[in-house]
Chains A and B, each alone.
Chain A
Amino acid sequence: MPKDFEFEKSIIELEDRIRELQAISESGKVDLSREIKAISEKVDALKNEVYGNLEPWQITQVARHINRPSTLDLVKCLCGEEFVELHGDRLFGDDPAIVSGIGRIGDHRVMIIGHQKGHDTEENIYRNFGMPHPEGYRKALRMMKTAERFGLPIVTFIDTPGAFPGIGAEERGQSDAIARNLAEMSGIRVPILCFVTGEGGSGGALAIGVGDRVFMFEFSVYSVISAEGCAAILWNDPAKTKEAATALRLRATNLLDAGIIDDILPEPIGGAHRNHQMAADEIKKQIDKHLPTLIALKADKLLDERYKKFRGMGKFTREEELEHAQEQA
Chain B
Amino acid sequence: MGWFDKLTRPRREAPSDLWKKCPACNETLLIKDLAKNLYLCSKCDNHLRMPLWDRIALLTDDNSFVEINQDMRSIDPLNFVDSKPYPERLVEAIKKTDVNEAVATGRASLNGRKIFLGVMNFEFMGGSMGSVVGEKLTELIEAGAREKVPVLVVSASGGARMQEGIFSLMQMAKTSAAVKRLNEAAVPFISVMTDPTTGGVSASFASLGDVNIAEPGALVGFAGPRVIEQTIRQKLPEGFQRSKFLLEHGMLDCVVHRRVLKNTVARILRLLVA
Contacts and interface: CB of A to CB of B under 8 A. Distances in A.
Interface of A: 163-167, 169-176, 178-180, 182-187, 202-203, 206-207, 209-210, 222-225, 229-230, 233-236, 240, 243-244, 247-250, 254-255, 258, 260, 307, 310-311, 313-320, 322
Interface stretch (B33-41, B42-50, B220-228): B220-228
A258 B232 CA distance: 35
B250 interface: yes
Given A170-B223, A248-B162, 10 more contacts: A179-B202, A180-B207, A186-B173, A230-B82, A243-B82, A310-B173, A311-B177, A314-B130, A314-B167, A317-B74
Interface string B218-238: 001111000110011000110
B176 A182 contact: yes
Given A175-B207, A182-B177, A248 B78 contact: yes
Given A186-B176, A250-B166, A258-B166, A203 B228 contact: no
B96 to A, nearest CB: 18
A235 B82 contact: yes
B207 A179 contact: yes
Contacts of A315: 75, 77, 131, 164, 167
Interface stretch (B10-18, B132-140, B264-272): B132-140
A203 B167 contact: no
Nearest to B100: A319
A186 B207 CA distance: 16
Contact of B165 (A167, A207, A223): A223
Interface in B165-188: 165-174, 176-181, 183-184
A247 to B, nearest CB: 6
B83 interface: yes
Given A170-B223, A314-B174, A179 B180 contact: no
A169 B131 contact: no
A175 to B, nearest CB: 4
B121 interface: no
Contacts of A249: 78, 165-166
Interface in B102-142: 130-132, 134-135, 138
B71 A319 contact: yes
Given A171-B249, A314-B170, A166 B232 contact: yes
Contacts of A248: 78, 162, 165-166
Contact of B227 (A165, A185, A230): A165
B58 interface: no
Contacts of B164: 224, 315
B58 to A, nearest CB: 25
Interface string B62-89: 0000000001111101101111000000
11 contacts: A167-B240, A170-B221, A174-B203, A179-B203, A179-B206, A183-B208, A187-B177, A206-B170, A224-B162, A314-B174, A315-B131
A171 to B, nearest CB: 5
Given A203-B172, A233-B162, A250-B166, A170 B81 contact: no
B204 A316 contact: no
Contacts of A207: 203
A249 B165 CA distance: 7
Residue in B177, B180, B220, B221 whose Cβ sees the most chain A Cβ within 10 Å: B177
Contacts of A222: 166
